[in-house]
Amino acid sequence: MGFEGSERNVVSKASERIVDVRVWLIPPEDREPASTDGHEAKPANWIAGNIANPLSRYPEFAANRASGINSRLLGGLIVEVESSSGVIGVASGSGGFAAAAIIEGHLARLITGAAANQHEWIWDRMYAGSLHYGRKGMALHAISAVDLAVWDLHGKLAGLPVHALIGGRMREALRCYATGPRPDIARELGFIAGKLPLPNAPCAGDEGFEANVDLARSWRQRVGKDFPLLYDCWMALDVAYTVRLMEAIQPLGVRWVEDCLPPDEYEGFRQIRERGNQNVLMVTGEHEYALTGFKQLLDAGVQILQPDLGWCGGMTVLLKISALAHAYRVPVIPHCGGMYGAHFSITRSDLDIAEYVVSAAEGDAVSPMHEPYLLGATIPERGRHDPGDAPGFGMELNRDLPLQRPFHGEVWPALAGQD
């Protein structure tokens, strides 16, 4: 039996060919401040401030994470993928100038001419074509942004939300935990848990360790005994420190430690799983890429995976990660959430929990995660997030803001004369 009427029309539209790929850069002044001297750079908000990270052992970066990890070369970008009828899919990403060069100088020619619904074909060409310089890191940031834009295009051509394309809703809304410095406000806003950034790395010694424990203790006293707390360690710890921390914070109701080790230390994760307090979950994955690394994390005993859709390879690879994790009975909670994570998580049968970053400067208010460059994102209401049913991911590029397109498909001419 063939497709009839509107069903056939939907399939036809989703098969429209990609004719153009464009990358816009978000101006550097709209990102966190970068500095070679962390003592002089004032953090713009809590995300940039005193958070344990791999550079914490260098004093000039201890109090201002942004001054160490940000670079004018990197930052935000917007990818547009246009079909033959002029419909445009759009997605935000990261990697800035470097990722834009990869996309317009290489990936665009690998996918131009593909049908908007050929996700596996498109992803395989991008990944296989960049194997000699990719596999992880910047190439995957670039691939992720293109992949998400193609899914958005597919949805807009079909007139369907992305969640309808990947399995359909399992629920009306997702329960969200809040990432930010104010668990008390998160509780008032209806979130189910509060995730705190760990302030001190092992280089801060016993005094820093006690301060980490005291922070959890003080928040437990303020939010009461029944509100779960979580700790985000942002790749800053080692095995022994993590095991010691898990033991100290478990009586305080801290449910998990996240990203405790640098992402490639799979053996270290296995040791933590064996030696750490079994009542504190070991959670990680935001800095992992593609499929093989996630299998190594699963084999090491990680109990919740947290792929970032803008880094891991996009929606196409996340669906494979989810299937693999399901075989291990391990839940997947995408890093940061937002509209991309919500469209994925609303279709999953094993867990109805999502992350939402409270990105206001003081961590005291909820705002759309993709603004001001993408408009149309929904936000949690009383801690419940419904991504809506608008076509694609439900967002459009805000063309009233300044954007820079450095390459116009010609990378080398654009680079000529650059410092």
CB-CB contact of 48 with 64 (8 Å)? yes
Whether the CA torsion 111, 115, 117, 118 is positive or negative: it is negative
Q: Tell me the two tokens of residue 116.
A: 């908007």
Active site residues: 335
- The interaxial angle of helices 292-300 and 266-275, nearest 10 deg, is 20
Cis link prior to 391 (omega < 30° from 0)?
Answer: no
Residue 375 contacts by C-beta under 8 Å, 6 or more apart in sequence? 395, 396, 397, 398
Sheet holding 18-25, edge to edge: 18-25, 76-83, 88-94
Q: How far apart are CA 316 and CA 1, in angstroms?
A: 29
CB 97 within 8 A of CB 142: no
Q: Is the peptide bond before 372 cis (omega within 30 degrees of 0)?
A: yes
| Whole-number Cα distances in Å, 260 to 30, 198, 237, 284, 317 | 29, 10, 5, 8, 24
Q: What share of the chain is helix, strand, coil (3-state, %, to 5)?
A: 40, 15, 45
DSSP string, 136-183: STHHHHHHHHHHHHHHHHHHHHHTSBHHHHTT--SSS-EEEEEESS-H
Amino acid letter, 327? A
Q: What b/e readout covers 322-355, taking b as 16+ CB neighbours within 10 angstroms? A: bebbeebebbbbbbbbbbbbbbbbbbbeeebbbb
| Cα(149)–Cα(295) distance, integer angstroms | 26
Separation of alpha carbons 407 and 129, rounded Å: 20
Q: Residue count of the chain, please give it.
A: 419
Chain centre to alpha carbon of residue 408: 27
- Cα(308)–Cα(254) distance, integer angstroms: 23
